């Protein structure tokens, strides 16, 4: 008499959450410093000091009933103005508050886009490796998620397979760059090829194929890497953003959907976003943190810590003989597992309390995700265990 789907989804939980909960239980038994938990993307770099300052300033100087009160469903006007200004300044765009809809984080941003777009028989396409929750969110709207096989050479798009997967039911394509779980940033070449193909296919099938750009990691990029701003390449784009990673506020659930004026039927589209946010029960994005991110929109947590972690871990693993594409951003490494069955590999790692996430759920078997948004010390301590594993598999150089 309950929804069977919901029981199943709620009982399984995500593999990531499952491993994370396991790690918490183990930590209570053997101590936190004995657990090498690389399972969850919870930033270890604290929010910039300006976040705390912003909170204190708002609490001190603004009216409590306003600060904690309802905002308009699309978000506070001034907040959206500040955020539009920040985007314009950084990316040379020309947005206003009317292009923004504040959300309770990236999961909400993309759920809203799926719900706003989804009609009978629709298909949404994404590229492996991909964030597994996409499947839940797409299927919750009644649509189907199509996953294009990974290009494991460099984790750019596998265009040959992609082209085959597009058909008359394709409603939208979801990209996530910098990518969770590979850390790879799509090159401008990839974006140009992708958007050219989408324009052609939209024409061929006589309807718009939308591009949903899920980019919570936009700000977490390393020296010399550029993340193209997608709306400059393709009009029918939704930008889904979250401050979870850039300001280290994943628990606070704050982000936005950006709808460019150039999108087909702007007014209806923005209305559909509002409608989707409404029926999904979001009401408004958390009001204090709307104001906080508006004040801190130009800032980012200290990315150099992630870059140092990346260097240490990536170089360490390569040295030991692991195969891995070098990430350009985010805080994930996605090496090949040392046996074909990534789950079996993760189980073996677990015996050493080394917690990794098998790539299978990301649509990319034979790989494991390592979230290195952890204390650098944890990486230092975990390297000998990675070494031991390599030795067990006889792959050491």
Q: For the segment 131-150, give every residue that binds its own copies (CB under 8 A).
A: 133, 136-137, 139-140
**φ, ψ at 103 (rounded to 5°):** -135, 170
Q: Pick the binder of its own copies from 31, 62, 89, 119 (CB under 8 A).
A: 119
Say how many CA atoms lie within 13 Å of 232 toward its Cβ.
12
197 binds its own copies (CB under 8 A): no
Which of positions 88-117 make contact with its own copies (CB under 8 A)? Answer: 104-105, 107-108, 110-112, 115-117
State whether residue 85 is helix, strand or coil: helix
For residue 383, state whether it binds its own copies (rule: CB under 8 A): no
Q: What kind and span of H or E run contains 73? A: none
How many residues form the binding site for its own copies (CB under 8 A)?
A: 88
Question: In the set 32, 33, 62, 70, which binds its own copies (CB under 8 A)?
Answer: 70
**Cα–Cα distance, 199 to 184 (Å, whole number):** 24
Q: Which is nearer to its own copies, 41 or 129 (CB)?
A: 41
Q: Which of residues 30-59 bind its own copies (CB under 8 A)?
A: 40, 42-47, 51-52, 55-56, 59
Give φ, ψ of 361 to 5 degrees: -65, -20
The one among 126, 208, 231, 299 contacting its own copies by CB under 8 A: 208
From candidates 248, 309, 337, 378, binder to its own copies by CB under 8 A: 248
DSSP string, 192-259: HHHHHHHHHHHHHHTS--EEEEE-TTTT-B-TT-----GGGT-SSEEEEEESTTTTT-GGG--EEEE-
> What are phi and psi for residue 34, nearest 5 degrees?
-100, 0
Nearer Cβ to its own copies (241/289): 289
Give the range of 283-291, 304-312, 344-352, 358-366 binding its own copies by CB under 8 A. Answer: 283-291
Helix, strand and coil content of the chain, in percent to the nearest 5, comes to 45, 15, 40
3-state secondary structure of 44: coil
Does position 299 bind its own copies by CB under 8 A?
A: no
Q: Which of these segments, 79-87, 92-100, 269-277, 328-336, binds its own copies (CB under 8 A)?
A: 269-277
């Amino acid at each position: 008499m309950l929804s069977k789907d919901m029981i199943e989804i709620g009982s399984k939980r995500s593999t990531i959450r499952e491993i994370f909960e396991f790690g918490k239980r183990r930590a209570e038994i053997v101590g936190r410093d004995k657990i090498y938990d690389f399972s969850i993307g919870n930033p270890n770099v604290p929010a910039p000091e300006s976040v705390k300052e912003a909170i204190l300033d708002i609490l001190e100087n603004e009216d409590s009933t306003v600060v904690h009160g309802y905002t308009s469903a699309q978000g506070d006007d001034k907040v959206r103005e500040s955020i539009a200004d920040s985007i314009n300044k950084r990316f040379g765009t020309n947005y206003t508050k009317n292009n923004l809809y504040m959300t309770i984080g990236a999961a909400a941003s993309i759920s809203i886009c799926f719900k706003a777009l989804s009609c009978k028989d629709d298909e949404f396409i994404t590229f492996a490796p991909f964030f597994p929750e996409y499947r839940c969110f797409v299927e919750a709207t009644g649509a189907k998620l199509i996953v294009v096989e990974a290009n494991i050479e460099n984790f750019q798009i596998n265009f040959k397979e992609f082209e085959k997967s597009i058909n008359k039911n394709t409603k939208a394509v979801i990209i996530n760059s910098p990518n969770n779980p590979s850390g790879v940033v799509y090159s401008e070449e990839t974006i140009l090829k992708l958007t050219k193909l989408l324009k052609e296919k939209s024409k061929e099938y006589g309807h718009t194929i939308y591009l949903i750009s899920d980019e919570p990691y936009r700000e977490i990029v390393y020296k010399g890497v550029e993340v193209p701003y997608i709306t400059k390449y393709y009009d029918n784009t939704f930008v889904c953003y979250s401050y979870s990673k850039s300001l280290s506020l994943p628990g606070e659930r704050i982000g936005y959907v950006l709808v460019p004026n150039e999108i087909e039927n702007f007014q209806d589209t923005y209305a559909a976003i509002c409608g989707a946010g409404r029926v999904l029960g979001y009401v408004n994005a958390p009001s204090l943190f709307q104001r906080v991110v508006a004040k801190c929109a130009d800032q980012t947590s200290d990315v150099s810590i992630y870059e140092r972690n990346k260097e240490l871990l990536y170089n360490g693993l390569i040295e030991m003989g692991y195969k891995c594409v070098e990430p350009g951003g985010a805080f994930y490494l996605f090496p090949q597992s040392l046996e074909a069955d990534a789950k079996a590999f993760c189980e073996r790692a677990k015996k050493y309390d080394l917690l990794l996430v098998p790539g299978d759920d990301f649509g990319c078997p034979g790989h494991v995700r390592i979230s290195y948004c952890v204390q650098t010390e944890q990486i230092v301590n975990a390297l000998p265990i990675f070494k031991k594993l390599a030795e067990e598999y006889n792959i050491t150089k």
